[in-house]
Amino acid sequence: MTLSKQSKIYVAGHRGLVGSAIWANLIQRGYTHLIGRTHKELDLLDPVAVRQFFDEEQPDAVVLAAAHVGGIMANSLYRADFIYQNLQIQQNVIGESFRHHVKKLLFLGSTCIYPRMAAQPMHEEALLTSPLEYTNEPYAIAKIAGLKMCESFALQYGCDYVAVMPTNLYGPNDNFHLERSHVLPAMIRKVHLAKCLNEGDWDAVRRDLDARPVEGVDSSHSKEEILAVLNKYGITPKSVTLWGTGSPLREFLWSEDMADASVHVLLNVSFSDTYAPGTKEIRNCHINVGTGKELSIRELAEKVVAEIGFKGALLWDATKPDGTPRKLTDVSKLHSLGWHHKIDIDEGIHRLYEWYCQPAVPKD
């Protein structure tokens, strides 16, 4: 199903890391009839509100980039929230898209859908072949349900719904909240704050905490209170302590690359392109999105330390979980559909730290 420049496209999650980049990418390509709603304007957990929104707006296409997300700690502690909220968002948005005859839908998932010990690199066919990683199992099951909804609506009703599964993402508008952020933005913030403490730059520390308070602590608190809360997260003037051993291997994709891949799929790939002609049992029609390159968490941390120029020690707390040992995507399907990444990790870290240091940093 081809979309024209006049098509009305709803981007759910248009203020998030990927959603904001998808929005900008569509604008750059001349697709200006875009619809976005903040969480305050539209609660995607509310089926009545979502139906009313679709009744009023009647979008031609939907990009479902909204999700309840977080790192290892959040996924481990708030398991019910992760499965319930994501299932509810998907049920409401995909269901109303079907009822309102949306021409095209793009669903964004995550490569955590794959088994903990999946063969590497992880091909789309690895889905549901063995147990998931325990720490993020509820979130992964929700995302599997979402991609299976897309697949099932396409097979039963002929809907042009396609699911993409990105690897670890990072980029502008990332979440740097120490209690909820993913590994790379958390590293950048921790090392940045440690460097500021190391150099005695309390003005920079207070600016950072005003932009993103940690457990309610901001610039109005005393130095002792600030040092205490930062120490709780492994940040001191002389060292930064990170979770785990540093040994897991991870793949990282710049969010604007993910946006470009998403828009490429939205505009150029139909559901029928996601499986081989003549396939009897059509499944695993989702598309991995990544770089096909990996590095260890320790190597990543060393790159961050070098970029920021922190002179202290980098320490590891092996009592904390590492998560899945390795998560590398097989991106051969994506390449065959005509898209390759552009930003590699060194350039990405440099760009993200530059963005983080901009004066007008949005609050979380």
Chain CA centroid to CA 149, Å: 20
Residue 289 three-state SS: strand
Q: What CA–CA distance (Å, rounded) separates 358 from 124?
A: 38
Strand 160-166 and strand 104-108: the pairing is parallel
Angle at the Cα of 26 (from 250 to 46), degrees rounded to 5? 80
Residues 6+ apart with CB under 8 A from 15: 36, 38, 173
Chain CA centroid to CA 196, Å: 28
**Are 329 and 289 contacting, i.e. CB atoms less than 8 angstroms apart?**
yes
Closest CA to 145 of 210, 189, 91, 188: 91
Eight-state DSSP code of residue 337: T
Tokens of 58: 């009647």
Closest CA to 108 of 307, 327, 286: 286
Angle at the Cα of 309 (from 193 to 203), degrees rounded to 5? 35
**Checking phi first, is residue 138 left (phi over 0); if not, alpha (psi -120 to 50) or beta?**
alpha
Tokens 């390159």 -> residue: 293
Q: What CA–CA distance (Å, rounded) separates 334 from 297?
A: 25
> In this structure, what is the dihedral angle of CA atoms 269, 257, 301, 13, given to the nearest 10 degrees?
-80
Tokens 């970029």 -> residue: 307
Residues 6+ apart with CB under 8 A from 271: 150, 154, 159, 160, 161, 162, 285
Active site residue 170: no
Tokens of 238: 């002389």
Tokens 């920079």 -> residue: 204
Catalytic residue among 139, 161, 233, 356: 139
Angle at the Cα of 345 (from 313 to 351), degrees rounded to 5? 85
Residues annotated as catalytic are 139
